Each structure stands twice: as structure tokens, then as C-alpha cells.
């Protein structure tokens, strides 16, 4: 789940435990430009307190007004549509004629909210189904390949565990990368066994481990919602974690270094560890989008941008190679000369 949706779930569970009345709202379908994608969540309490977002604007205000006035129903889920007409789209601030179709659950069941939270904590993929025809909400294990589905009466949403980022190296780049990734919903683990770096790590909300990176990553059991970024420039550390990461389902694997150093790294991995060209194609090195980055914060921006592109299914491979060639013999991210 996205970090915003995890916050919505946490708020909903808290309000349910406090026996407060609230509604859970899900974006089921969008047409035209829409600020939030299908599957996004919002929870609105009886006093108008809101967690999450479905539009980032006037639709939230309308939902708050409906909730305060008791116009969001009592029990059975139902759908709401905003932006059908041009006047309505203008009224609710929807850009470019956008339209939102929402599914509203006026009285979410606490047991199901707790069940979902437990599944996510166990890193299980969950399928949540809302049937407007019979007013039921069910939760079950999802299968790989399951996706959001809405046919006007039944809404199925897939909820995955929190995204994770495993960073090798507690240096300057990591100090910027970690909080940027946290803002995007990642749970951060930083691994650095070097005595010179680990003791000084103090980025809030992250965990530091001092085991060897390959052992620490294996213990974390990376899955399809995990990214691995090696930032030490030390082959003894970076290469070993890449061996583990490239054999895992991790959706993103990156390593810092010049284009020449990364080419040599690929040669080592192929020659000594029998990685195929398909395996090595998963390695993003030099790590990050080639935006001319040189300083640690610029490099961190480039890394989170590429991670986001890969996570969203955007293929930047050809563009990245073309831009990198334009910059010539220097690594566009670290400024290392290719020698």
C-alpha cells in the first residue's frame, strides 16, 4: 500500500476502536485528468476530520459536508460520481473535465480493518471486495496478477505490504535518500558494517544494521515490493549484496559508480557468478536517472526518481542510455571520470 493509504487504515482502526462514526471512501474509477488514482483511500469522521485524499480539493469538502449532515448513509456501501457535467467539474475543481467515481462505505467493519492490518504486517497480499448489490465487504488472500476491478457494482482492490528500501552504506547520499524514500512510503533499512560510518547514523524513522550486507538482505527476505541500492563504492560490500539482490524478486536493484566501473561489475558478475544478460539487465548502474547529478542530494533525487519510474512501470532504459551518452565520459550521477 502507499504510505497515504496506510495512514488512512491506521486512522480508521483508531476511530473504530474509539467507537467514532466514520466512512471509508475509495476511488473506483477516473475519467480524464484525476489527482488520485483508482484504489486511493480517504476516511472522513463524523466531526469532519479527514485522513487521506481522493481529489486534493473540493470533493473532500463536499464529503465532509455530507458526513456532518448525515448524508453518507448509515450502513450499506454505495457509489458517488463527481464531475459528470462541465458545471459540476468546475464546481469541484476537477481539471480538464476529470470525473471521479467513488465507493463509500458508511460503516466499515472493525474486524475487517484489523484483519487487513494483520495481513499487511505479515507482508501478505490482500484482496478486498465491496459488493454494492448485497452490501457485503470481504477480505481474502490475493494472488499475483490480481488487480483493481470495478464493474459498477463490485469493487475489488489489492492491498500489498509496505514498500521497503534496503540501502548499503551510511554515507552522505544515504542521508538524503532515506528521508526522500520515506516520504514516498518506504520502510528504510540502512546496512553498513564499517566502523567509520555506522555509529554516526542518526536519520529518524530508519533502522541501521551492521551485519554484512548480503546476510542482512537475505534475512530481510526481499520481495516484489523491495528496492536495493548499493552506495559504498566498495566492491566487497556492494558486489556481495548485488549477488543476493539480483537473485531475489526485488523490483529495483541499483549500484552507484561510474559507467566504466559498472561495466566492470557486470563483467565480474557474469564471469564468476554465472549471471545471465537478463539477470544483469535488472541492475541499474550507474544508479538513478541521468539528470546531471553531482551532489549527494541531487544523486538522491535521481535515485528516487528512477525507483518511482520502475515502480510505476515506466521504461526509461533507452532514454537513460541516450542522455548518459550525451554527457560523455563522466558518470552523470557521481561525477567520476571514466578511466
Q: What pLDDT digit, counting tens, does each position of 13-64 carry?
A: 999 999 999 999 999 998 766 667 899 999 999 999 999 998 867 789 899 9
Condensed to tens digits (0 to 9), the pLDDT of residues 140-164 reads: 999 877 889 999 999 999 998 889 9
Mean pLDDT in residue range 182-201? 94
Q: Which domains does the chain have, with CATH numbers?
A: 3-159 (no CATH), 163-327 (3.40.50.720)
Could you tell me the pTM of the whole model? 0.78
Report residue 153 as a C-alpha cell.
457494482
Residue 326, pLDDT above cutoff 90: no
Backbone phi, psi, residue 330, to 5°: -105, 145
Average pLDDT on 180-202 reads 94
Locate cell 464531475: which residue?
Answer: 83
Distance CA 162, CA 177 (A): 17
Share of the chain above pLDDT 90, in %: 68
**Mean pLDDT, residues 247-254 taken together:** 96
User: Is pLDDT above 80 for 322?
Assistant: no
Average pLDDT over residues 80-99: 67
- For residue 206, give the DSSP letter: -
Average pLDDT over residues 80-104: 72
Angle between helices 110-121 and 3-17 in degrees, nearest 10? 140
Amino acid at each position: 500500500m502507499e504510505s497515504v493509504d496506510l495512514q488512512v487504515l491506521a486512522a480508521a482502526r483508531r476511530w473504530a476502536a474509539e467507537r467514532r462514526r466514520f466512512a471509508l471512501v475509495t476511488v473506483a474509477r477516473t475519467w480524464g485528468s484525476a489527482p488520485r488514482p483508482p484504489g486511493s483511500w480517504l476516511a472522513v469522521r463524523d466531526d469532519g476530520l479527514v485522513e487521506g485524499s481522493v481529489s486534493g480539493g473540493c470533493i473532500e469538502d463536499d464529503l465532509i459536508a455530507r458526513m456532518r449532515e448525515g448524508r453518507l448513509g448509515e450502513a450499506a456501501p454505495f457509489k458517488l460520481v463527481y464531475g459528470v457535467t462541465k458545471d459540476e467539474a468546475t464546481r469541484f475543481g476537477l481539471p480538464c473535465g476529470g470525473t471521479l467515481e467513488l465507493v463509500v462505505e458508511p460503516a466499515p467493519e472493525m474486524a475487517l480493518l484489523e484483519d487487513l492490518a494483520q495481513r499487511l504486517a505479515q507482508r501478505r497480499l490482500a484482496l478486498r471486495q465491496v459488493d454494492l448489490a448485497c452490501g457485503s465487504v470481504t477480505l481474502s488472500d490475493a494472488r499475483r496478477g490480481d488487480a483493481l476491478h470495478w464493474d459498477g457494482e463490485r469493487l475489488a482492490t489489492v492491498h500489498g505490504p509496505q514498500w521497503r528500501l534496503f540501502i548499503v552504506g551510511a554515507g552522505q547520499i544515504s542521508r538524503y535518500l532515506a528521508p526522500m524514500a520515506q516520504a514516498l512510503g518506504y520502510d528504510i533499512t540502512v546496512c553498513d558494517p564499517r566502523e567509520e560510518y555506522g555509529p554516526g547514523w542518526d536519520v529518524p524513522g530508519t533502522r541501521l544494521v551492521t551485519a554484512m550486507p548480503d546476510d542482512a538482505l537475505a534475512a530481510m527476505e526481499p520481495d516484489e515490493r523491495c528496492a536495493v541500492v548499493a552506495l559504498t563504492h566498495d566492491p566487497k560490500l556492494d558486489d556481495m549484496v548485488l549477488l543476493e539482490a539480483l537473485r531475489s524478486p526485488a523490483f529495483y536493484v541499483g549500484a552507484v559508480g561510474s559507467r566504466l566501473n559498472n561495466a566492470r561489475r557486470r563483467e565480474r558478475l557474469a564471469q564468476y557468478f554465472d549471471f545471465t544478460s537478463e539477470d544483469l539487465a535488472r541492475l541499474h548502474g550507474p544508479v538513478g536517472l541521468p539528470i546531471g547529478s553531482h551532489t549527494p542530494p541531487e544523486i538522491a533525487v535521481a535515485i528516487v526518481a528512477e525507483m518511482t519510474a520502475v515502480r510505476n512501470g515506466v521504461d526509461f532504459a533507452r532514454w537513460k542510455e541516450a542522455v548518459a551518452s550525451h554527457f560523455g565520459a563522466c558518470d552523470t550521477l557521481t561525477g567520476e571520470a571514466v578511466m
